[in-house]
Structure 1
Amino acid sequence: MNDVLHFLLTAPAEPQVLDSVDTWWRRHLELSSRFTAPSDLALAGGFLADRLGFAFASGYHAALRRLFPELPADQPIALCATEPAGAHPNVIETRLADTSAGLRLSGNKTFVTLGTRAELLLVVASEGQDAQGRNRLRMVAVDAKRPGVRLSALPELSFVPEVPHAELILEDVAVAPEDVLPGDGYARYLKPFRTVEDCHVQLAMLGWLLQVGRRSGWPDDVREELLALAVMMRGLSQAEPSEAATHVALGGGLALTKRAVLERCEPLWASTDATTRERWARDRVLLGVAGKVRAKRLEAARQRIQDASEQGG
């Protein structure tokens, strides 16, 4: 951990201009050889980003490295879950079918982050229903250039427009048995990813803010507070993401970070350069994305903690 803290405090705070997602990926890949822990990679990637969008991209990809450490580290990866009816496990219709010709994958994913740049796609698919009528989900790793895979770029978002998104169409895509990752696709991968992503995206944002604060001359106590929040979030990123206690602690951590960013840092943006200030005004919307889902997850975790307490632990 001392390595990444030293980096955040001493590395040059004038980031290279990242003019495309390809430039971002090359820089992210260079960092991954030094910072092997996903949390540290998120912090360092955020620090070297020249804008919040590319900091987010580093945090997102670091989250995938945390959850899927066995996958190739030198390939950009995208998680493909959201469908026309959403990403809830009950509405996943993409199908992994065992046919006479082998395993086949078919379906439609409507919103794939970094989809147009990804070389490997992690696709959430249903094998059918269990005895209780619930979707049996699996996670399938698919080469983005495999026959039957079609990715189409979506329009830029109004915030962090540098991060590309895509729609994915899968038409009878051949799947080898080893492409199907072990374990339940929802419990082992999709559900914990929401928590893992929150941690690593927050880390990347904090890394980026530390860089902005250093080059803009923000007060020492503000920068030290951001650094302390980064240390806290790094610890949470290494906790078991499926545990209720992790969600409760993360709820507090996210609240503290949001308060620091929106209150402590707010008056200081006037001291930053115009381009950074204008991008922040546009991209700060990112802080509220998935807020309702996050609130429901926190409430469910609180209830689980209460139930456990009433049962004597």
Structure 2
Amino acid sequence: MDALLDFLLTEPIATTPLDDIASASARHRVVANRFDRTVDIAIAGGFGADRLGFAFLSGYREAVRTLIPDLPDDEPVAMCATEEGGGHPAAIRATFTERAGGWSSNGTKSFVTMGTFARRLIVIASVGTSPEGRNQLRAGLIEAQAPGVCLTEHPATAFAPEVPHASVSLTDVPVQLLPGDGYLDYLKPFRTIEDIHVLAATLGWLMRVARESDWPKPSRQRLLTAVAAVRGLDITVPGSPGVHIALGGVFDFFGDLLGEFGPLWELADPATQHRWERDRPLLEIAGRVRGQRLIAAWRAVGPDAERSLGE
């Protein structure tokens, strides 16, 4: 396997434009064969992308593979949790129902990243309520082309329009239930795993921009420092308070880097500059929720730590 940091510094930059998500996916699959760890694949995939949206998709794909390692690495898979009422466990109305010979799914998911490009769906749905009245969630795998699945593509977003989204309705669709709790073992950890992998892919893409645009060596060095920090996060325990706190620090450092790099974008070609200005809101989407998780992480390690955070 390749040495990732050397790869970022020396790998020839692929100059063929990526026309669509299919070409971006094909380039991602090529680089995926050169690295073992999903975070490294996300970084290298981001480096191979010619825009932030395609880098995001590399991070998203590897986040899903981290959540369910047995998934084929050449098959786009989408997480389906958010509904009209949001993504909170209590808001989920889609259901899994046991029938003769297996389980079936019914319901609607309002926001599916990967959209109609996905070949499988990881669906979070309810199997009923607990004696305490809580929504009991499970996760299940569904074939996107199965009878009863209807994916409706959304219009392209103003930023990162290359990232497809869709809504999906499920009518008596056969589902393969996955072991464990749908919230604790899938939905909750995925939010952290996705943050780590998307940030990793973004850093890989920024290293590509830095090399293409001949940014100063100290800037590239600081980018490599951020890459090393992301690689050091323990994705095997995404619920760990320490991981959340360290991830918060990495995002702070990343924010400082973006501020420092502001004047350097003038060295990039006009198309790259334009896409960066258009697409950078993509990096702010999960900021509020991530901040809430950081507060909860400090609270979990003790009142003294939480009090220090507020000083």
**Residues 244 and 305, structure 1, Cα contact 8 Å, conserved in 2:** yes
Cα deviation code 1:135-164 (max 9, x no counterpart): 111110011111101101001111000010
Query: Once structures 1 and 2 are overlaid, which stretch shifts more, 81-90 or 8-17?
Result: 8-17
- 1:88 maps to which residue? 88
**Residues 138 and 185, structure 1, Cα contact 8 Å, conserved in 2:** yes
Question: Matches of residues 232-311 of structure 1 in structure 2 within 5 Å?
Answer: 232-236=229-233, 238-261=235-258, 263-307=259-303
* 1:15 positional shift: 3.5
Distance 1:188 1:121 in 2: 16
- 1:77 maps to which residue? 77
User: Where does structure 1 lack aligned partners over 5 or more consecutive residues?
Assistant: none
**Residues 196 and 237, structure 1, Cα contact 8 Å, conserved in 2:** no
User: Where does structure 2 lack aligned partners over 5 or more consecutive residues?
Assistant: 307-311
* 1:307 positional shift: 4.8
- Give 2:206's aligned amino acid: L
* 1:309 positional shift: 7.2
- Matched position secondary structure for 1:12: coil
Work out the number of aligned pairs and report it: 306
- Matched position secondary structure for 1:74: coil
- Give 1:268's aligned amino acid: L
- Give 1:264's aligned amino acid: E
**Residues 116 and 166, structure 1, Cα contact 8 Å, conserved in 2:** yes
**Residues 2 and 34, structure 2, Cα contact 8 Å, conserved in 1:** no
- 2:38 maps to which residue? 38
- 2:309 maps to which residue? none
- 2:6 maps to which residue? 6
Deviation >6 Å, runs of 4+ = none
Question: Matches of residues 5-154 of structure 1 in structure 2 within 5 Å?
Answer: 5-100=5-100, 102-154=102-154
**Residues 2 and 35, structure 2, Cα contact 8 Å, conserved in 1:** no
Is 1:173 aligned with 2:169? no
- 1:229 maps to which residue? 226
- Matched position secondary structure for 1:217: coil
- Give 1:185's aligned amino acid: G
Distance 1:4 1:309 in 2: 35
* 1:287 positional shift: 1.9
**Residues 149 and 173, structure 2, Cα contact 8 Å, conserved in 1:** yes
* 1:238 positional shift: 3.1
* 1:101 positional shift: 6.1
Cα deviation code 1:212-250 (max 9, x no counterpart): 001101000011100110110111153510111111111
Distance 2:295 2:95 in 1: 32
- Give 1:235's aligned amino acid: G
RMSD across aligned positions (CA) = 1.6
Q: Pick from 217, 220, 226: which aligns with 1:220?
A: 217
- Matched position secondary structure for 2:188: helix
- Give 1:79's aligned amino acid: M
- Give 1:181's aligned amino acid: L
Distance 2:216 2:13 in 1: 15
* 1:99 positional shift: 2.9
* 1:66 positional shift: 1.2
- Give 1:253's aligned amino acid: V
* 1:174 positional shift: 2.0
- Give 2:48's aligned amino acid: L
Query: Once structures 1 and 2 are overlaid, which stretch shifts more, 204-213 or 233-242?
Result: 233-242
- Give 1:287's aligned amino acid: L
Normalised TM-score (structure 2): 0.95
Distance 1:255 1:289 in 2: 15
Q: Pick from 195, 198, 201: which aligns with 1:201?
A: 198
Normalised TM-score (structure 1): 0.94
Cα deviation code 1:173-194 (max 9, x no counterpart): 123xxx1111001101110111
Percent identity of equivalent pairs: 47
* 1:90 positional shift: 0.9
